[in-house]
Structure formats: structure tokens, C-alpha cells
């Protein structure tokens, strides 16, 4: 798909570690694929909460000069791609709050399905919002709690709000980390020189030299104290897990692990399963770089067809979805991918992509493959038809834009310009990942966290504002 979905954000937190702000910058750099709009780090130094954030990539925001303004051994960090709230500096995270229980900073990956209702209710009680993010809703609910400690106020707030999220909070008493009751968005616990840290993906742990300890359980709330103890504020329940299947299909970095298993390995098996379900009469297999290459490897190996380097990605063009709007996206795709004509000329191609969302990339690819002399282009998608909008932190707000909703197979083929098109089944995804407990709502419409009717209607229009 090469960037047709806006990804979730990425979070990081660590306690008791000298040079924590620099470590956070390293971790956020490793999580950059999860959000490229803004980056931010909050730190506690001598009881003071310091915050630096800005629009842009991690290395653009965190110059040495800016990092030097942050001190202390406890930090949280965030990279953002907006799913609710516009792409504006004031919406960059972490967000800073002064509350009855002291100052705190909060960063969030995911979406609350009841953020709008809660916001209206809070505004009716006199709350004044500074941003358009649902992250601020969490903070206001915390501030309105009658709890006597900040960890308890987070427990109260998360008991009242619903959605798919991973949250980190920094306060004078340490770092809190929480995952939604279904574990839709990922969060892992690691250790660096004995001190605990939290991250959206294990690649961020590796980047700072930390070792993976375990996934935070669905519904679990952890308190990382300044001394490095890990206390459980809410136990969580692993049996309820509905981890987003798209983390395995596309979002997470292939060198990350989920539940201790390799993302690369999962994608390879998705490709193998796709080959079993939808073999193509092709001379060679091409994967759409970079995210579909492991699935293409698995597909080619299963069918005994060579996988070759027939598509090249220009690494110096930003991600396709950075340009808002359809024309901007199309131009981005054209600049980003090109064909090696000698590889495809006179040959039938099986073109493997991890997903088919809007179809912008696929239309361009089938066209340039034909122009380069491919005799046939058989498109195979290593995930099911993407039919329903995500309400848990991935922006596919407009249902009409989802190309797989075209019910006429002939028109669908014409729209993407392929000779044939087949998708992996939902059962195939579960078989390949080896787990039955994934959210598959964008394929099946079966939402693990009920989505209010008005949000379902809104999703056919545009974003929250
Ligand atoms: S609806 Fe799709 S993208 Fe959203 S959390 Fe579920 S599996 Fe992931």
C-alpha cells in the first residue's frame, strides 16, 4: 500500500536513567515510521516538568540545542500522526497540564470512540480545551477525578473512556503506562540497565540498548517509579486481547516483535498463506517496497517462483500520505516508485502488496509495469478486503475512499488496472499469525469496542474537525 493509511502514533517512557532525554530522542527516531507530523519529549528535572515539541521529523525537532534544554532521568516522548485533531503545533504531544494533583504530561497513541461526547459533557461543566485532540479529553477526565493520587486519576479516567489506545503519563512520581482493555494498540515493557521503560514497539527498545521484558497486558496500568520499581495499578487481562492485525500486516517495523514474535516472520507467513489461497500464473513475484517485501518472499517461496527486484523506491521522498488530498497523494506515489524495465519486460508479474486501501499506489504500479513491458499483472493482497473505517487510531475516515467497497469485480479490476486481483482471507490472517485474538474490524466490520452510531456516520464524512 506504500503509505495509504495514516499510521498510529508512537510513544516512549523511561525512569531512573541519566541522559533520559537523549535516549527518548533515539527511541522516537526508531518509532518515526509511526508518525511524521510532530515529535515531543517531556522530562522531569528537580521536580520541574520541562517540555519540548514541534512540527516535523524527530531529527528536525530535536536539534542538540533543543535537547540540551531537557534534563532529568524521567521522560516520556511521542511521535504523532493526527487521527483526531488537526495537524497543528498546539496538537503536538506530549500535552502539559497543571492539575490539583500536580503538573503532568500525557502522550497517547490511538483513538477514543467517546471523546466527542466526553468533551461536550466536560465543556458543559466549564472545562476549557486548548487543543482538538482526544488526548486532552483524557487529561480533563483525570483532572475532574476525585482520586487522591495521579495514578488513581488515570485509573478513573480510563474506566470511563473507551477506545483503542496506549498512553504514557509523566509526573513527579514517575511514569505511568496504560493499554486499552482489548490491547488494540501495542505497548511493551523493557529494561535498560535494570531500569524499566515503555515503548510502542520493541525496535525502540533495541535503539536505546534496552531488552524486551514483556508486552503490557490489555487493560493493564503500570507505574514506573523514579527508583525503577514497576507497580501494577490495574492488572489487565491477556485473554481479552484484540491486537490490531494491521500492526502485523503493515504498521510495525519488520525488526520489531509482538508478543515476542517477529513481525518479519508474520509477514512472511502471510505471504505463504496468500500463495496457498490465491496462486498466480506468473513468471516472477514483485513486492511493493518496502513493507510488502517479506510477504512477497513468502509468496514466492511457497510457489517456487523467483522474487526479483523489479520495483525501486526513492527513499528521499517523504511518505505518500504526508501530502494531504488525492492529487497530492498521486503525485507522491509517482515520485516514489519506479520499475526496472529489464526485470519485467515480456514476463507475467505477480504483484504482492500488504493491503489495498484507496488504490492510488496500485493504479500507478500496474500502469508503469505495463509500460515497462510486463505481459500480465496479477495483483495479490496479503490481507483481506479493507471495507470498514478504523475507529481506533488509524485514519481511514472516508468509507467511499476504500476501493475494496466496489462490489463489481470487473470495475474493481479496471480501477486498479490489473489482470486479476485476489485477497487473503480473514481466517488466513489468523492462521498465518498463529493467533485468534486480533482486531479485524476494518475487514469484517466486527468492532471489539462498540462504536457510537454518530461516529459511524461521521466517519463517512471527514475527520473530527
Ligand atoms: S479496525 Fe483495522 S486498523 Fe483499526 S485497529 Fe482494527 S485491525 Fe487495526
pLDDT tier, 463 (very low <50, low <70, confident <90, very high otherwise)? very low
> How far is C-alpha 237 from the chain's CA centre?
22
State the burial class of residue 116 (Cβ atoms within 10 Å of its Cβ: 0-12, 13-18, 19+). middle
Q: Is 27 in the pocket of ligand 1 (CB under 6 A)?
A: no
pLDDT at 5 (0 to 100): 65
Which atom of ligand 1 sits closest to the CA of residue 443? 2
Buried b (16+ CB within 10 A) or exposed e, 190-219: bbbeebbbbbbbbbbbbbbebebeebbbbb
H or E element at residue 441: helix 441-444
- Long-range pairs for 62-70 at CB < 8 Å and ≥24 separation? 62/25, 62/28, 67/21, 67/22, 67/25, 67/41, 70/21, 70/41, 70/43, 70/45
pLDDT at 134 (0 to 100): 87
pLDDT at 108 (0 to 100): 94
What digits encode the pLDDT tens for the residues 284-337? Answer: 999 999 999 999 999 999 999 999 999 998 877 654 444 444 555 555 566 689
Question: Could you tell me which residues are beta bridge partners of residue 170?
Answer: 105, 175
Q: Is 112 in the pocket of ligand 1 (CB under 6 A)?
A: no
Nearest residue by C-alpha to atom 4 in ligand 1: 390
Q: Is 1 in the pocket of ligand 1 (CB under 6 A)?
A: no
Q: How many whole angstroms from 385 Cα to the centroid of ligand 1?
A: 12
pLDDT tier, 7 (very low <50, low <70, confident <90, very high otherwise)? low
CA–CA distance, 109 with 34 (Å, rounded to integer): 10
Q: What is the mean pLDDT of residues 418-426?
A: 97
Q: How many whole angstroms from 395 Cα to the centroid of ligand 1?
A: 10
What digits encode the pLDDT tens for the residues 198-251? Answer: 999 999 999 999 999 999 999 999 999 999 999 999 998 888 999 999 999 999
Nearest residue by C-alpha to atom 5 in ligand 1: 244
Q: How many whole angstroms from 91 Cα to the centroid of ligand 1?
A: 23
Is there a contact between 331 and 309 (Cβ–Cβ < 8 Å)? Answer: no
On the question of pLDDT at 406 being above 90, the answer is no
What digits encode the pLDDT tens for the residues 76-134? Answer: 999 998 655 666 788 899 999 999 999 999 999 999 999 989 999 999 988 899 888 88
On the question of pLDDT at 148 being above 80, the answer is yes
Q: Is 424 in the pocket of ligand 1 (CB under 6 A)?
A: no
Grid coordinates belonging to 448: 471489539
Average pLDDT, the chain: 90
Longest dimension (CA), the chain: 72
On the question of pLDDT at 397 being above 80, the answer is no
3-state class (DSSP) for residue 423? strand
pLDDT at 465 (0 to 100): 26
Domain at 10-242, CATH homologous superfamily = Aminohydrolase, N-terminal nucleophile (Ntn) domain (3.60.20.10)
CA–CA distance, 47 with 329 (Å, rounded to integer): 45
Q: How many whole angstroms from 392 Cα to the centroid of ligand 1?
A: 7
- Domain 267-435: which CATH class? alpha beta
What digits encode the pLDDT tens for the residues 323-372? Answer: 444 555 555 566 689 999 999 999 999 999 999 988 988 999 999 999 99
Q: Is 245 in the pocket of ligand 1 (CB under 6 A)?
A: yes
Residue from 75, 74, 34, 78 nearest 54 by CA: 78
Half-sphere exposure of 104 (CA within 13 A, CB side): 27
Q: Is 284 in the pocket of ligand 1 (CB under 6 A)?
A: no
Sequence-distant (6+) residues with CB within 8 A of 226 are 15, 16, 73, 74, 173, 174
Nearest residue by C-alpha to atom 8 in ligand 1: 244
pLDDT at 261 (0 to 100): 87
What is the helix, strand, coil percentage profile of the chain, to 5? 35, 25, 40
Q: What is the mean pLDDT of residues 248-261?
A: 93
User: Which pTM value belongs to this model?
Assistant: 0.92
pLDDT at 400 (0 to 100): 77
Q: How many whole angstroms from 63 Cα to the centroid of ligand 1?
A: 34
Percentage with pLDDT > 70 across the chain: 90
pLDDT tier, 461 (very low <50, low <70, confident <90, very high otherwise)? very low
Is there a contact between 81 and 37 (Cβ–Cβ < 8 Å)? Answer: yes
Q: Is 440 in the pocket of ligand 1 (CB under 6 A)?
A: yes
Q: Is 207 in the pocket of ligand 1 (CB under 6 A)?
A: no
Sequence-distant (6+) residues with CB within 8 A of 160 are 118, 141
Domain ranges of the chain: 10-242, 267-435
Q: What is the mean pLDDT of residues 260-287?
A: 97
Would you please indicate which residues are annotated as catalytic (active-site) residues? Answer: 9
Q: How many whole angstroms from 245 Cα to the centroid of ligand 1?
A: 6
pLDDT at 192 (0 to 100): 98
Which atom of ligand 1 sits closest to the CA of residue 438? 7
Q: Is 184 in the pocket of ligand 1 (CB under 6 A)?
A: yes
Task: Answer whether the bond into residue 389 is a cis peptide, omega within 30°.
Answer: no
Amino acid at each position: 500500500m506504500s503509505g495509504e493509511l495514516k499510521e498510529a502514533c508512537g510513544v516512549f517512557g523511561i525512569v531512573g536513567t541519566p541522559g533520559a532525554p537523549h535516549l527518548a530522542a533515539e527511541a522516537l527516531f526508531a518509532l518515526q515510521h509511526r508518525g511524521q507530523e510532530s515529535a515531543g519529549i517531556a522530562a522531569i528535572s528537580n521536580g520541574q516538568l520541562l517540555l519540548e515539541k514541534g512540527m516535523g521529523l524527530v531529527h528536525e525537532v530535536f536539534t542538540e540545542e533543543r535537547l540540551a534544554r531537557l534534563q532529568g532521568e524521567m521522560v516520556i516522548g511521542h511521535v504523532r500522526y493526527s487521527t483526531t485533531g488537526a495537524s497543528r503545533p498546539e496538537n503536538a504531544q506530549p500535552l502539559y497540564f497543571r492539575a490539583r494533583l500536580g503538573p503532568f504530561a500525557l502522550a497517547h497513541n490511538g483513538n477514543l470512540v467517546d471523546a466527542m461526547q466526553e468533551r461536550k459533557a466536560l465543556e458543559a461543566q466549564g472545562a476549557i480545551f486548548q487543543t482538538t485532540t482526544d488526548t486532552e479529553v483524557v487529561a480533563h477526565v483525570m483532572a475532574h477525578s476525585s482520586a487522591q493520587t495521579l495514578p488513581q486519576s488515570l485509573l478513573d479516567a480510563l474506566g470511563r473512556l473507551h477506545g483503542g489506545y496506549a498512553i504514557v503519563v509523566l509526573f513527579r512520581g514517575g511514569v505511568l503506562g496504560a493499554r486499552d482493555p482489548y490491547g488494540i494498540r501495542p505497548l511493551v515493557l523493557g529494561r535498560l540497565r535494570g531500569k524499566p521503560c515503555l515503548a510502542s514497539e520493541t525496535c525502540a527498545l533495541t535503539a536505546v540498548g534496552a531488552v524486551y521484558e514483556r508486552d503490557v497486558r490489555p487493560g493493564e496500568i503500570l507505574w514506573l517509579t523514579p527508583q525503577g520499581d514497576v507497580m501494577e495499578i490495574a492488572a489487565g487481562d491477556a485473554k481479552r486481547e484484540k491486537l490490531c492485525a494491521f500492526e502485523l500486516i503493515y504498521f510495525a517495523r519488520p525488526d520489531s516483535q509482538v508478543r515476542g514474535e517477529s513481525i518479519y516472520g508474520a509477514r512472511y507467513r502471510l505471504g505463504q498463506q496468500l500463495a496457498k489461497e490465491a496462486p498466480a500464473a506468473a513468471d516472477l513475484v514483485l513486492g511493493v517496497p518496502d513493507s510488502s517485501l517479506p510477504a512477497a518472499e513468502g509468496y514466492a517461496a511457497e510457489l517456487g517462483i523467483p522474487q526479483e527486484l523489479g520495483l525501486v523506491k526513492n527513499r528521499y521522498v517523504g511518505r505518500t500520505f504526508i501530502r494531504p488530498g488525492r492529487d497530492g497523494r498521486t503525485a507522491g506515489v509517482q515520485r516514489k516508485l519506479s520499475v526496472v524495465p529489464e526485470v519485467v519486460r515480456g514476463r507475467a508479474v505477480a504483484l504482492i502488496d500488504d493491503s489495498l486501501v484507496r488504490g492510488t499506489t496500485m493504479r500507478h504500479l500496474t500502469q508503469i509495469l505495463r509500460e515497462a513491458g510486463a505481459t500480465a499483472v496479477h495483483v495479490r493482497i496479503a490481507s483481506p478486503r479493507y471495507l470498514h473505517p478504523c475507529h481506533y487510531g488509524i485514519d481511514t475516515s472516508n468509507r467511499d475512499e476504500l476501493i475494496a467497497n466496489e462490489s463489481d469485480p470487473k470495475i474493481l479490476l479496471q480501477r486498479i488496472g490489473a489482470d486479476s486481483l485476489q485477497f487473503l482471507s480473514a481466517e488466513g490472517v489468523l492462521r498465518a499469525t498463529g493467533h485468534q485474538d486480533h482486531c479485524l474490524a476494518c475487514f469484517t466490520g466486527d468492532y471489539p469496542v462498540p462504536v457510537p452510531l454518530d461516529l459511524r456516520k461521521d466517519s463517512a464524512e471527514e475527520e473530527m474537525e
